Structure 1
Amino acid sequence: MTTLIKNGVVIDTEPEPVVLGRMDVRIERGTIAEVGPDLAVEPGAEVIDATGRLVLPGFVDTHRHTWQATVRAIAPDIDFPAYLRRVLGELAPRHRPQDLYAGNLAGALECLDAGITTLLDWSHAQFSPAHTDNAVRALRDSGIRAAFGYCYGGEPGGLAAETRRVREELFDTSGLVTMVLAALGPEIAGEERALEEWRMAAELGLPVTAHLGGHGRESAAKALAFLEDNGLLATPTTFVHALYYTDEEFKRIAAAGGTASISPVDEMNLGLGYPTTGRARAAGIPTGLSADTVVCAPGDMFSQMRTAHLLERGRPDGAGFGFTTRDALRMATIEGAEVLGMADVIGSLRPGKQADVILLRTDTPGMAAAHDPIGAVVLNADIGCVETVMVAGRVVKSGGQMLHHDLPAVLASLGESADVVSGG
């Protein structure tokens, strides 16, 4: 019931990232109980020797189409219109319920392996109730903490009934996997669908995550005005991509309590637009990072932090030089937790929070002798550094090896599904 992480270099993130130095972390019943130097070892406690390791909160991915693990790197150089045609138009409908399970399980384990302990699974391959049931079951089986973003994909007229079924049958108020409503309106599926989605979310007490502001200036302005005019932003809403808003519009989103999810690699690779990381945060919008899709992007948070840092500091005329590696780490941890409405539960090492914790090796040529541990996490670390991963105090990766799953069997199942959906 008690775990003591001893002698690691602890990095906390709340309210801002800071290196606390060589410290211990005591975990009791899945919760962080104490952080401090030379904590006593209680009889019966499990001790994790963190000498030569960095100890920090697990990463938070605020928007990922997890099922797309079945089509990893299938279109590495695609643009967004081609992505819509190829991935969503052709490949997604080929997924059987068992393929959604295979993709979600492997995709969630990929996250854990990389130190991502919390995930918003933006799931838009819900072609039947069986697809949904399998997607949720895979998340639960993986051991990750997840917000399942349910996006209705059935016949017209069935959204309300099926969303209620999913909420009532698959989710309660406890457990690591919770539910949010992933909306297609108003910019993708229109205003009528948006009204139904946001009103359903309000009825069921669910937050909303939606691709907003990533489809051009006119679309962004029109959709924001529609949401405001209809009072829909009273429901907590995450603006995924948020690329084409003015500074004044960002301030309105912030005033309404909106949050943002930025996918720096995909936004550039798909030609969506230049990430608005600094402008969104300057307006006071909690802004998290997102891998989006492994169809054409890496699935780890190190890549997202590095890209966000690079692109923000590379803005013209030095406008982004105020953005630091600490900002990037904050976005990947406590700020991502704020985006998901989980900042009181995860995202930092504050006593009382759930023990979602990762240990990173520093005894590698690429990490040794780093003078700034936070800079090293953002600029130098990679998946190979992730030695230990805990979710709610449960160790899911130890010694660099994933636990609790027959990984070869998981990957074999993923390969079979990949052959089916790709027509291979």
Structure 2
Amino acid sequence: MNIVIRNGVVVDTEPQPVVLGTVDVRVEDGRIAEVGPGLRAAPDAEVIDASGRIVLPGFVDTHRHTWQAGIRAIDPDMTMAGYLQRVLGELAPAHGPEEVYAGTLAGALECLDSGVTTLVDWANAQFTRAHTDAGVRALRDSGIRARFGYCHAGAPEDLLRHGRAVLEGHLGGPGLVGMVVAALGPEIVGPDHALAEWRLARELGLPVTAHLGGYGPEGATAGLAFLRDNGLLATPTTFVHANHYDDDQLKLIADSGGGVSVSPIDEMTLGIGYPVTGRALAAGAPTSLSADTVTCAPGDMFSQMRAAFTLERGRPGGAGLGFTTRDALRLATIDGARVAGLADVTGSLRPGKQADLVLLRADTLGMAAAHDPIGAVVLNADTSAVDTVLVAGRVVKRDGRLLRDDLPDVLAALAASAREVTARTATAAGSRRRQI
């Protein structure tokens, strides 16, 4: 994992996105060692020629229900009510551990293929311990850097015991896959369950990610007051779909050390609300991007950056015209790492960080002659531009192809999973009709 990347146009993102020009990136023992011109390569180092490429940190997705890869585009025109009924109410329970594994593995590989090197997996299909084990195993087998979102919908008194067992059994040591508490939160479950979720996070020393602020102003206000009044804001928390907070509430979140995850496409198409991107940034909250679900939205970060940029710039009266392509790239990289609690690990090219890198082709008709490489990444690139991907200094995609011999098997398992889930759902629906 000693590599020197030469001849590429290098973009760093910390403290702000900047084009460094045609310089080298040296990777040693999986970490970024140096960035600069004419770097010397050790005799055993691999030299990657990045001519015609843009080199930048890998993207960070801070909220994705990765297991849903097998039900992609199941209902592209659904509303939030339809999502809750069909996806969570009918399709999710039809997933056994095998289907969770197939969907999570394929979904994580989809991320890597599109340049997402870090993922917060909001794994809300953990109906049994076997489901949980399957999700964790799939993330590990994929090779992505991930935080597995432990989500427990059972009795509050079981949360700590089960959560500790998952951490100690799977995720307590070093490695690419760690753990966060994916809390259902006070807007979805009762106070006892919500308190138990934050207690689990506090006792295990883990951050929380929760859907908070996306169910209307009244629920957002009540939920935030619950967290404040019970002293729960001291636990690092990612607020997913924070659309219905006012500016003062966003300032409270920022002052507490909380972060925000914006899913701009899903939030608009499902009717959750107008993305809070610019207002969260103005409040001082670390703000990030996420794909959320591929049941009714694209799964790549290029789409999310473009949507966030367009929606923010299009605010009435020119209120969002200060939002730039550099802001969009920052949300997809270093700010995503901050929200995920991994700012010292990934998200930029700072020496000492893990070498999570993406090389984008800039020699195609859609990318050639770009005067501003950052603008081209945000507004012109798509998944076809992703040429090479590294995670912790290991090349996982090269020359436009994931380096896995088992991709046909992964895709076949995903297709079988899709057939099985839809068949089980149809059977369950028929049973309900007969009972009526």
2:398 alignment partner in structure 1: 398
SS of match in other structure, 2:34: strand
1:411 alignment partner in structure 2: 411
> Which 10-residue stretch deviates more, 215-224 or 399-408?
399-408
Q: State whether residues 289 and 336 of structure 1, in contact with CA within 8 Å, keep that contact through their aligned partners in structure 2.
A: yes
Partner letter of residue 23 of structure 1?
V
Compared with structure 1, are the counterparts of its residues 292 and 181 closer, same or farther at alpha carbon in structure 2 (3 Å cutoff)? same
1:170 alignment partner in structure 2: 170
Shift of 1:405: 4.1
SS of match in other structure, 2:111: helix
1:184 alignment partner in structure 2: 184
SS of match in other structure, 2:32: strand
2:430 alignment partner in structure 1: none
Q: State whether residues 128 and 153 of structure 1, in contact with CA within 8 Å, keep that contact through their aligned partners in structure 2.
A: no
SS of match in other structure, 1:331: helix
SS of match in other structure, 1:152: coil
> Which 10-residue stretch deviates more, 158-167 or 412-421?
158-167
SS of match in other structure, 2:10: strand
| 2:117 is the counterpart of 1:117 | yes
Partner letter of residue 242 of structure 1?
A
Q: CA RMSD in A?
A: 0.9
Q: State whether residues 156 and 193 of structure 2, in contact with CA within 8 Å, keep that contact through their aligned partners in structure 1.
A: no
Partner letter of residue 365 of structure 1?
L
1:46 alignment partner in structure 2: 46
Cα distance in structure 2, aligned partners of 1:284 and 1:394? 34
SS of match in other structure, 2:233: helix
1:263 alignment partner in structure 2: 263
Cα distance in structure 2, aligned partners of 1:189 and 1:303? 32
Shift of 1:415: 0.4
2:97 alignment partner in structure 1: 97
Partner letter of residue 185 of structure 2?
G
Deviations 1:36-82 (A, max 9, x none): 11112321210000011000000000000000001000010000011
Work out the number of aligned pairs and report it.
Answer: 424
Shift of 1:404: 2.8
Shift of 1:153: 3.5
SS of match in other structure, 1:395: strand
Q: What is the TM-score of this pair, normalised by structure 1?
A: 0.99
Q: State whether residues 156 and 196 of structure 2, in contact with CA within 8 Å, keep that contact through their aligned partners in structure 1.
A: no
Cα distance in structure 2, aligned partners of 1:201 and 1:404? 35
| 2:322 is the counterpart of 1:322 | yes
Cα distance in structure 2, aligned partners of 1:113 and 1:131? 25
Deviations 1:359-404 (A, max 9, x none): 0001110000000000000000000000000000000000000013
Shift of 1:173: 3.2
Shift of 1:189: 1.3
Cα distance in structure 1, aligned partners of 2:390 and 2:409? 22
Compared with structure 1, are the counterparts of its residues 421 and 153 closer, same or farther at alpha carbon in structure 2 (3 Å cutoff)? farther
Gaps of 5+ in 1: none
Deviations 1:275-314 (A, max 9, x none): 0100001000000000000000000000000000000000
1:237 alignment partner in structure 2: 237
Gaps of 5+ in 2: 427-436
1:16-55 to structure 2, matched below 5 A, reads 16-55=16-55
SS of match in other structure, 1:125: coil
Cα distance in structure 1, aligned partners of 2:396 and 2:237? 31
Partner letter of residue 271 of structure 1?
G
Cα distance in structure 2, aligned partners of 1:273 and 1:171? 35
Deviations 1:14-35 (A, max 9, x none): 0000000001000000000000
1:287 alignment partner in structure 2: 287
Deviations 1:335-367 (A, max 9, x none): 000001100110000111000000000111000
Shift of 1:154: 4.0
Shift of 1:185: 1.7
Deviations 1:143-189 (A, max 9, x none): 00000001013466432221121111111231000000000020011
Could you list the structure 1 runs, at least 4 aligned residues long, displaced by more than 3 angstroms after superposition. 153-157
Deviations 1:227-258 (A, max 9, x none): 00000011100000100111111111111111
Q: What is the TM-score of this pair, normalised by structure 2?
A: 0.96
Partner letter of residue 129 of structure 1?
R
Partner letter of residue 326 of structure 1?
R
Cα distance in structure 2, aligned partners of 1:190 and 1:86? 23
| 2:100 is the counterpart of 1:72 | no
Cα distance in structure 1, aligned partners of 2:2 and 2:67? 35
Cα distance in structure 1, aligned partners of 2:348 and 2:388? 16
Q: State whether residues 63 and 119 of structure 1, in contact with CA within 8 Å, keep that contact through their aligned partners in structure 2.
A: yes
Partner letter of residue 280 of structure 1?
A
2:131 alignment partner in structure 1: 131
Cα distance in structure 1, aligned partners of 2:213 and 2:300? 24
SS of match in other structure, 1:164: helix
| 2:342 is the counterpart of 1:342 | yes
2:429 alignment partner in structure 1: none
1:87 alignment partner in structure 2: 87
2:145 alignment partner in structure 1: 145
SS of match in other structure, 2:257: coil
Q: State whether residues 5 and 26 of structure 1, in contact with CA within 8 Å, keep that contact through their aligned partners in structure 2.
A: yes
Cα distance in structure 2, aligned partners of 1:358 and 1:160? 38
Cα distance in structure 2, aligned partners of 1:393 and 1:95? 34
Cα distance in structure 2, aligned partners of 1:217 and 1:41? 56
SS of match in other structure, 1:227: helix
1:366 alignment partner in structure 2: 366
Cα distance in structure 2, aligned partners of 1:208 and 1:307? 26
2:161 alignment partner in structure 1: 161
Cα distance in structure 1, aligned partners of 2:183 and 2:3? 40
Q: State whether residues 115 and 386 of structure 2, in contact with CA within 8 Å, keep that contact through their aligned partners in structure 1.
A: yes
Q: State whether residues 2 and 27 of structure 1, in contact with CA within 8 Å, keep that contact through their aligned partners in structure 2.
A: yes
Cα distance in structure 1, aligned partners of 2:242 and 2:49? 42
